[in-house]
Structure 1
Amino acid sequence: MQNLSPIIEVDELMQISENQNLRIFDVRTGSNAKENYIKKHLEYSVFVDLNSDLAEIDDPKNGGRHPLPTFEDFIKTLGKLGIDKNSHVVIYDDKNGANAAARFWWMLRAVGHKNVQVLNGGLQVAQNQNYPLSSVEEYYPETKYISDYQDWQLPQVWINDVKKASQDSDSMIVDVRESQRFDGIMEPIDLVAGHIPNAQNFPFIDNLDEKGLFKSPEVLRNLYSELFDNYEKSKIIFHCGSGVTACHSLLALDYAGFDIPNLYVGSWSEWSRNEI
């Protein structure tokens, strides 16, 4: 399917809910994520774990708190989840798509899977619009995912690239964390507060309206056009705390019609353990 919007509305999902190739995934996070999923989730949705399915966690100093798994391991995970190349994947979380839903979307796009969308507003909006809910743990039959590629297809940068960009006035480093974390006033997760030199703060929450829905593509395009003015696409880098929430802004950019810029997966969690 070509020109598929990266965002799907609740009513649109309802209309396709019986499609045989539809695969819905709940990617909420937190200490009780799986238990909360079992208590209440969208009907037929399967739980995906950020830490074990979408990351390969080892040493935060080398790769950050949520480094990507190997390309090969992620392809195997897709098969175990019941996704094949013909699957229409819809992803949601309980944070307006701001957390692991956007990360899963980025990873699927990065293996070449185009038929993937994030549910606008996530669990809360779906529930408010009376989408059918379930408390039965769901599974899809395993498949074999066959990619046309052997490596990630969306642009990334690594800590040495960010080091150079931090000293280059022609580079744009965008930190999507909330302003108090960027300003070093508070740091609830990582060891040190602050931000990467030369970074600008554009909190991911600015992608959403007061109802927790993505702003329109036109509004987002105006917001980011102003931010990106006079910067080459190859010199724009997005990051967050651990390479998860930054994907929410990459999703917003794709929704607004921009090319997806560089993601620094290691993000502040890696940088702050190495470069301060």
Structure 2
Amino acid sequence: MNLISASDLRSQLASVRLLDARPDSTDYAAGHLPGALHADLNRQLSTASDPGHDPARGGRHPLPSLPRFAAQVGAWGIGPATRIVLYDANGGGNAAARLWWMLRALGHEEVRVLDGGLPKALGAGMPLTSDLAPVTTLGPYPVARWQFPTVDAEEVETLRKDPGRKLLDVRSQERWRGESEPFDPVAGHIPGSLNLPWNENLGPDGCFKSPEALRALYGPLLDGTPPERLAVHCGSGVTACHTLLALDVAGLPGAALYVGSWSEWCRSDRDRDPRP
């Protein structure tokens, strides 16, 4: 399983490495679950804060290089045998699912996302602290390659025209239809893409729907297409990972992540060879 309940986490706190994936470091500083380290979306889970970052080349949240992320994982005190639990305050959509994808893409097996996130932890009686957790730094995580599939803009241009493949955009329906765009300079969607917003993965309680319900949600969308022939994107490659996690929970693993997502697509080569 890739999820853990708040009650199960409460009984296992002493034996796991907790990572707080809320984007705002001030939220972490104000109060986090005991033992949690902060995983910064812009500095550690992407290169968004790097000097010269250009969203037209990789989107608003490009992946860090493999050696850089492997070093960061070791700096968190994580080795191949470490049990990891990730959380945020938005049902996994802030960045916990992105971090889940990155750790699983390293080949790490023992990683879970807290189902329902911080609200469920607080509801289960877990306290908050502002104390910094001790950590014994390790060397870089041993890994040779990313082990989960990704696609780039060039492959998306090909696959969107292929009737045997599917492209899924998990942004809101309003953004997909081009009625609003709060983050990127152009509204709309990649022609040929399907739309199923990532928050449809969650039930009214803020937790993931059951595997059966998720299969019922994604079965009609796939319509016989194997998950390995699906690519998933969002605005910047963050909430797309929530849907990749949901597909895994549903027993439908293997879809690829388009990391650059709409933030790259709508910017790239706009003046020379604009993408549709």
User: TM-score, normalised to structure 2's length?
Assistant: 0.93
Aligned: 1:64 with 2:59: yes
Give the total of aligned pairs.
266
Q: Helix, strand or coil: the match of 1:50? A: coil
The answer to whether the 8 Å contact 1:47/1:138 transfers is: no
CA RMSD between the two structures: 1.2
Code of the residue aligned with 1:112 in structure 2: it is G
Q: For the residues of structure 2 that align with 1:176 and 1:85, how far apart are their CA atoms?
A: 31
Q: 1:39 aligns with which of 30, 36, 39?
A: 30
Which residue number in structure 1 is paired with residue 101 of structure 2? Answer: 106
1:233 CA displacement: 3.3
Q: Helix, strand or coil: the match of 1:53? A: coil
Code of the residue aligned with 1:15 in structure 2: it is S
Code of the residue aligned with 2:7 in structure 1: it is D
Which residue number in structure 1 is paired with residue 149 of structure 2? Answer: 155
Matches within 5 A, 1:1-276: 5-19=1-15, 22-29=16-23, 33-57=24-48, 58-147=53-142, 149-274=143-268, 275-276=275-276
The answer to whether the 8 Å contact 1:159/1:266 transfers is: yes
1:170 CA displacement: 2.4
Identity across the alignment (%): 43
The answer to whether the 8 Å contact 1:81/1:139 transfers is: no
1:74 CA displacement: 0.5
Q: Helix, strand or coil: the match of 1:141? A: coil
Code of the residue aligned with 1:82 in structure 2: it is G
Code of the residue aligned with 1:43 in structure 2: it is P
Code of the residue aligned with 1:11 in structure 2: it is S
1:234 CA displacement: 3.4
Which residue number in structure 1 is paired with residue 272 of structure 2? Answer: none
1:138 CA displacement: 2.4
Code of the residue aligned with 2:67 in structure 1: it is E
The answer to whether the 8 Å contact 2:228/2:253 transfers is: no
Q: For the residues of structure 2 that align with 1:139 and 1:63, how far apart are their CA atoms?
A: 34
Q: For the residues of structure 1 that align with 2:55 and 2:214, how far apart are their CA atoms?
A: 32
The answer to whether the 8 Å contact 1:25/1:47 transfers is: yes
The answer to whether the 8 Å contact 1:28/1:99 transfers is: yes
Q: For the residues of structure 2 that align with 1:174 and 1:26, how far apart are their CA atoms?
A: 28
1:85 CA displacement: 1.0
Distance verdict in 2 for CA 1:216–1:72, change over 3 Å:
same
Distance verdict in 2 for CA 1:66–1:59, change over 3 Å:
same
Gaps of 5+ in 2: 269-274
Code of the residue aligned with 2:37 in structure 1: it is V
The answer to whether the 8 Å contact 2:227/2:252 transfers is: no
Q: Helix, strand or coil: the match of 2:213? A: helix
1:232 CA displacement: 3.5
Code of the residue aligned with 1:254 in structure 2: it is D
Q: 1:182-241 CA deviation, whole Å, 9 max, x = no partner?
A: 111100111111000000101001000011110011111121122112213332110000
The answer to whether the 8 Å contact 1:99/1:248 transfers is: no
1:130 CA displacement: 1.1
Q: Helix, strand or coil: the match of 2:43? A: helix
The answer to whether the 8 Å contact 1:27/1:93 transfers is: yes
Gaps of 5+ in 1: none
User: TM-score, normalised to structure 1's length?
Assistant: 0.93
Q: For the residues of structure 2 that align with 1:235 and 1:81, how far apart are their CA atoms?
A: 34
Q: Helix, strand or coil: the match of 2:14? A: coil
Q: 1:57-76 CA deviation, whole Å, 9 max, x = no partner?
A: 32110110111111111000
Q: Helix, strand or coil: the match of 1:189? A: coil
The answer to whether the 8 Å contact 1:45/1:138 transfers is: yes
Q: 1:72-122 CA deviation, whole Å, 9 max, x = no partner?
A: 110000011111111101000111111210000000000100100000011
